[in-house]
Each structure stands twice: as structure tokens, then as C-alpha cells.
Amino acid sequence: MSTRARVGPQTGRQHAPLDVDALLDDRGTEIIVCCGSGGVGKTTTSAALALRAAERGRKVVVLTIDPARRLAQSMGIEMLDNTPRPVSDVDPAAGGSLDAMMLDMKRTFDEVVLSQATPEKAEQILANPFYIALSSSFAGTQEYMAMEKLGQIHADAQRTGTYDLVVVDTPPSRSALDFLDAPERLSSFLDGRFIRLMLAPARGPAKLMTAGFGIITNALTKILGGQVLRDLQTFVAALDTVFGGFRVRAQKTYALLQADGTAFLVVAAPEPDALREAAYFVERLAEDRMPLAGLVVNRASPAPQGDLSGDEAMAAAARLRADDPTSLTAGLLRLHADRTRMVEREAGLRARFAKAHPEVPTAVVPALAGDVHDLAGLREVGGLLAGGVQGSPVHR
């Protein structure tokens, strides 16, 4: 039975544990997209899932868009770039393999230009200052290029059989929804009124160069300068002739994200804002008919040992303080109370999410004692994702 499900109407059921190993072992799963707001552990989750899948027999490539480059360090690779690189020391017993790569936004954009234009036209476009600005810093370009690269990797894997699973770490955006909204945002820019006006002379006969358009271009020339205006017109013409395929590819990649072979994992921290963002993303996935595998809650506070509740520990500490203001035991009881209340608070947040979205399977990964910096740490996190026993590194 498939481990992926369309997010549908709430059923009133309590949420089930997320079966990570079933998801990874399902050969029908071709793409796993880890998404969520910034700082919730998407990169480590992506890497841990990719490593676990590889050591369970899958041929995996993990694509990260993390500027901190911690993934490369954890996987023992000095530098990641737009080319998949093999990760060494992966256990080959099950016959799997693991490659890793990091999105190079501008290089991916350049590759699109080179594939769509003649060499002469491509050289002209790549040197255009407006293209350089768009490909390097335009809002939404990173998210769009992440989808572009995903489409390329999946198409190549289908053609060559190099990989049977692609794990995607989505960009660290302000909003988790930026990844899904990027194609529409770029299309809106390309279809904007100003862009259409600049393209009017190139798209139609000379009569379209009306007096009104001449007035506008004369005004722009005074403001921007003749060379800047020519650069802008060249860039806009290139958008029309070369980048028109963006919409088509964006639609194909969007359809790929909706396909049964894709599984979304929403990653969150046990904090109100992160879980609110996760709930919003779950609802958006439902609206867009995209397959959700489940929710991963990272860095959950581990429960302290003992049966005392937070209130009981605080009351006992107060009694001891009354008899001995310097009591060490009272201090330990207060620490126990604080940790217990934190655990109770986080459990309440998760319960609230589960009540609103009972159809979403959930995995809870505890916050551990040290940072993940190697494959051993990633294996530990993978085991915790799959329901293993808590160990020593921390999931950050």
C-alpha cells in the first residue's frame, strides 16, 4: 500500500506515526521534498533521509539549497556545487548509493540560456546586466531554479537510470510557500504590463511603434540613459525568445510535484510559529492536490526522568527553599519543573496540530546533545526519524 496520500478533508482520526522506512523503501517514491520555514532542520532531515535510503538499497541524489554548506561537511565532501558528487563511506551492503549536490542558482539559470539559445545569442544574454541581476538576486529566482534543477535531475534519472530517488531540501525562504509560488511569480513578471510594452515593437509590425510608445522610450532614455535602455530592451526581447520555455517547464515540474511518485515532508520545530507555518503548508498542499507523506517535528525537548509533574516539582522546590534557601535539591527540582513544563508545552502544540490535521502522520525527533557533523550523526538522525533510540548528536 502506498505511503503517500492526498491531503483531504479532516476525518476526525488521531494522527498516526510517520513510517519513514516504508516511505523510503517504496520504489514508487521517486521524489521526497522536505519543506518548511527557515531554521527547522530541513537540511539535516534531507541528508539523513537520503543516507538512510541509500543504505537501504536506493540510488539517491540529495539536492540542497543551504548557503551554510553544512551538508557538505556532514557528508565528508569539501565542496558541493551544481554537479552531483558521490558520498564516500556509505554502507554498500544493500546495493544503494548516494550523491549530493548544492544548487548554484546562477549557473542553473545560465544552463537554461545555453540550452535554449544559439551560442551567439546566449553570449549576448549572459553578458546583459539586467539578466545578471535577474539570475543573481531577483525575488523568487532561487526557488524557481530549485524547481528547474529538480526537473532536470528527474528527467536525467528517468532517461539514464542513474538515480531512483531524489531528495530535495527546499530553499531557506521567509515562507515555506515560496517554493510553490515561484513559477507563478516569475510568470507574472514576464507577463507584466511593462514587459509587454517593451516587447511591443519586437512582437508586431512597425506600426506598433506609436507616438505614445516613442514618448515613453524618450522619457526612459532621459532617466536611464540610452545604453541602459538598449540593454533593457535586449534583455526583454531575450525573455520573450529564450525564456518563454520557463512557463512550460514550470508547468511540467509542478505536475511532477503533484504526481504519485512525489512525497512531501513538512518539517517544523515545536514552536508556535513553525507549526503555524506547517499547518498553512499542509492546507496549501491540500488545495494544490499534492501528495503529503507527513510531518517531521525536529528538536523536541526530551522528557526528564521521574514521575513528578512540573507543578509538583515546583511546589516541592518551594517547600525546600523555605527550609533552606541554598538547597541544591530545590534547584534541581526547579530545573526539572522547567524542563517538564517545556515538554508539556510542546506536546500541547503538537496535539493542537494533530487535532486540526488528524490525517497527517507525524514523526518527532528529539533535540540531542551535540551537533551533526558526519555520516554517523546523520545515521543517528535517520534512526530517530524511523523511530530509533535516542543517541548523542543534536539535530540542528
Q: What is the CATH classification number for the domain harbouring 192?
A: 3.40.50.300
Same domain, 252 and 126: yes
Q: Would residue 167 count as lying in a domain? A: yes
- Which pLDDT score, from 0 to 100, does residue 188 have? 65
Task: Please list the rounded mean pLDDT of every run of 10 residues in the chain (396 residues).
Answer: 48 68 97 89 93 98 77 80 91 95 86 85 84 73 81 92 94 64 66 54 45 43 48 65 68 87 96 92 90 95 71 65 65 70 90 94 88 89 78 35
Contact 267, 331 (CB under 8 A): no
- Which pLDDT score, from 0 to 100, does residue 250 have? 75
Same domain, 322 and 364: no
Read off the DSSP letter of residue 293.
Answer: E
203 Cβ contact partners less than 8 Å away, ≥ 6 residues apart: 240
- How many angstroms separate the first and last alpha carbons of the chain? 32
Q: Would residue 165 count as lying in a domain? A: yes
Same domain, 249 and 336: no
Same domain, 339 and 252: no
Read off the DSSP letter of residue 368.
Answer: -
Q: Would residue 42 count as lying in a domain? A: yes
Same domain, 187 and 320: no
Same domain, 336 and 187: no
Q: Which of 390, 387, 385, 346 is nearest to 370 (CA)?
A: 390
Domain with 318 in it: 310-346
Q: Would residue 191 count as lying in a domain? A: yes
Same domain, 249 and 324: no
- Which pLDDT score, from 0 to 100, does residue 171 have? 74
**Nine cell digits for residue 185:** 511569480
Same domain, 191 and 329: no
Mapped onto helix, strand or coil, the DSSP state of residue 37 is: coil
Distance CA 45, CA 193 (A): 42
Same domain, 249 and 342: no
Q: Would residue 234 count as lying in a domain? A: no
Q: What is the pTM of this model?
A: 0.79
Same domain, 190 and 63: yes
Q: Would residue 207 count as lying in a domain? A: no
Total tally of structural domains belonging to the chain: 2
Distance CA 154, CA 158 (A): 6
Q: Residue type for 86, please?
A: P
Contact 395, 298 (CB under 8 A): yes
Q: Would residue 228 count as lying in a domain? A: no
Contact 140, 178 (CB under 8 A): yes
Q: Would residue 158 count as lying in a domain? A: yes
Rounded to 5 degrees, what angle do the CA atoms 3, 6, 11 make?
Answer: 100
Q: Which of 155, 152, 276 is nearest to 144 (CA)?
A: 152
Same domain, 62 and 134: yes
Same domain, 260 and 340: no
